[in-house]
Structure 1
């Protein structure tokens, strides 16, 4: 009994000492990583990411890209879906701040109204990365960088294609425009780029412009209204594929042939949109790639390490005609 008791006390002492040593090591680990929001002693970077929502095929592909890239990069991801509401997104960012994540990234629902919460992140010494959509803040120190597309360029490329396509037109060419979410960067910028491009041809006129909120249901509903109010529509410019796909239903139901009776231009180049283009129902698509995950994780690692990064990182994109869509579809990732 004496040997057993002695062994037990010695064993307990050894366990206690090992525990104290492990505790000390864990404390060192936390200070090295700047108080990560992950498990104690973990060197894993914790990223808080607030997504706009799941309003389109593009957004779903973007979310998948972010999640897969975080896993591949060994980054712990805290993900939030804002369901297209700015108040949800602000709440999520504040939750990330309270959780003391290492980096915050988000795709802003709209452009304005972010200064207060971004200042809170800055005061907490948590770097912020904007993805896909920009903000209109005058204080550029509130975020480290922006990664995404040039939306103005996408609109301009769409307009330039239309100018070339309709250069032989001798009379008015009536255009209806399905805008994205009101106040969002892609809606504002795509509208601007398109308007600048078509201004070179006075025959090209936008006769109606309204938000379809980037959704198929919204695109269908607004297109139905356009068709009732405007007996002669020559061109539809939709700010994304999903609204264009919804509009196809309304156009067909009205007894018109999409792609022939009405020229259709969209932006994104997701699989369903590319299929509509290959089938001749769409006429032109300007690409906006959702596969930002790997580039985002690279930026997360750099800003967490205190490295300098460019103020803007643009994705490489192209445009598609029906024949180009047919060639690209077999290997399309989204």
Structure 2
């Protein structure tokens, strides 16, 4: 938007200069009648009606153009995150959104970011596939003086000035919250001192959610010597892969008392795998999940999941607020956490009607 404004000002200056040259040169040789005729011309210019194309261009110039590179649509959470961005970053709200789906591939995201740079967008927003590998392309965005907002997963760069701010969840705290709920729940069942085996379905390895939740869960369980992680493998945040990995866990022969799935979709796949071998989810195996999408509440109401730790996907309003502040030259906080909660099964029926994702 700022680059377009400069171009418009330069263009107006050139037009003003041209008008002065055209009106002054023939003045000495003109008759009064001729002079009068010539002075009427500018009045016609002032009343010129803009064409629809010119009006559309002017409207676009008034909007903040945002290029958004999304991971993909691998889960219900991701779909809700995309919808929040699309429904908020609208023309009615002062934005022109250019959306790019990376289909879970970082190379697609890097290409999208370079496309945004070439289109001279005002702000770039990235929900990164993984934390690393961003130094070069973000350096290009910085050279182009385009601010970058990171959402959901964090990035790992040596120079924090490569991005303006980050919006998302405290994934490490989510892991700790899950363990706090789990240990209290097992105490309530009278099993708090039993030797308990834990299986973990990890998300996409190297993503911020996987890194934070894995560390939070491990650190939390280390405080309880009777809990042991006996199985751990990525389910890549998808339901199909979650079911596949859970099937392999069940075939391993290891006793599984607790399953911690790092998102709801993997938990749904694991539940299907448990039911296929005659086990009762949430009873024979305690199911702890993350995201707290609507389907997780329905699963808890059906008695197939014990708890889901919220990961709030509604980032659109916060991103819109930050983009406007940045374009107004305001300083913004580097880290922007969203509010989240923990939802056990006994609250699911009451809470489901309030859920918007």
2:231 matches 1:208 = yes
Whether the 8 Å contact between 2:124 and 2:146 is mirrored in structure 1 is: yes
Aligned to 1:39: 57
Q: Secondary structure at the match of 1:104?
A: strand
Report the CA distance between 1:15 and its aligned residue.
Answer: 9.7
Are the aligned partners of 1:179 and 1:191 in contact in 2 as well (CA < 8 Å)? yes
- Whole-Å Cα distance in 2 between the matches of residues 125 and 19 of structure 1? 38
Give 1:156's match in structure 2, choosing from 176, 183, 189: 176
2:297 is the counterpart of 1:274: yes
Query: Shift in Å at residue 331 of structure 1?
Result: 2.2
Instruction: State the match for 2:326 in structure 1.
Output: 303
- Residue 245 and residue 15 in structure 1: after superposition, are their counterparts in 2 closer, same or farther (change >3 A)? farther
Match of 2:128 in 1: 108
2:106 to 65, 78, 86: 86
Paired residue for 1:180?
Answer: 203
Tell me, yes or no, if structure 1 residue 146 matches structure 2 residue 166. Answer: yes
Q: Which has the larger radius of gyration?
A: 2
Alpha-carbon offset, residue 159 of structure 1: 1.2
- Residues 222-269 of structure 1 show CA distances to partners (whole Å, capped at 9, x for unaligned) of 000111013411010000000001111001001100000000000000
- Report the counterpart of residue 20 of structure 2 in structure 1: none
**Normalising by structure 2, what TM-score?**
0.83
Q: 1:129 aligns with which of 149, 159, 168?
A: 149
Contact 2:183-2:192 within 8 A present in 1 as well: no
Matches of 2:47 and 2:324, distance apart in 1: 31
Deviation of 1:160 after TM superposition, in Å, equals 1.4
Q: How many residues align?
A: 312
* TM norm structure 1: 0.88
Structure 1: state its 5+ residue gaps: 1-8, 27-37
1:283 aligns with 2:298: no
Deviation at 1:169, TM superposition (A): 3.8
Partners of 1:146 and 1:313 within 8 A in 2: yes
Partner residue in 2 for 1:48: 67
Alignment counterpart, residue 259 of structure 1, candidates 282, 286, 294: 282
The residue number in structure 1 matching 2:31 is none
Offset of 1:14 from its aligned partner? 6.3
Residues 65-93 of structure 1: CA deviation (Å, up to 9, x unaligned): 00000115221000000000000000000
Deviation at 1:177, TM superposition (A): 0.5
Task: Report SS of the residue matched to 1:202.
Answer: coil
Using the alignment, how far apart are the partners of 2:346 and 2:86 within structure 1?
33
Q: Which residue of 2 aligns with 1:6?
A: none
Greater shift, 166-175 or 299-308, is seen at 166-175
2:100 corresponds to 1:77: no
Give the SS at the match of 1:39: helix
Partner of 2:222: 199
Structure 1 residues 81, 15: closer, same or farther in 2, change over 3 A?
farther
Using the alignment, how far apart are the partners of 1:137 and 1:16 within structure 2?
57
CA RMSD in angstroms, aligned pairs only: 2.3
User: Gaps (5+ residues) in structure 2?
Assistant: 1-36
Aligned 1:224-239 pairs, distance under 5 A: 224-239=247-262
Alpha-carbon contact 1:279-1:322 (below 8 Å) kept:
no
Q: Deviations over 1:78-111 (max 9, x none)?
A: 0000000000000000000000000000111000
- The CA distance in 2 between the partners of 1:20 and 1:303, in whole Å, is 36
> Residues 244-295 of structure 1, C-alpha deviation per residue, up to 9 Å, x if partnerless?
0111100100110000000000000001111112222111111011111111
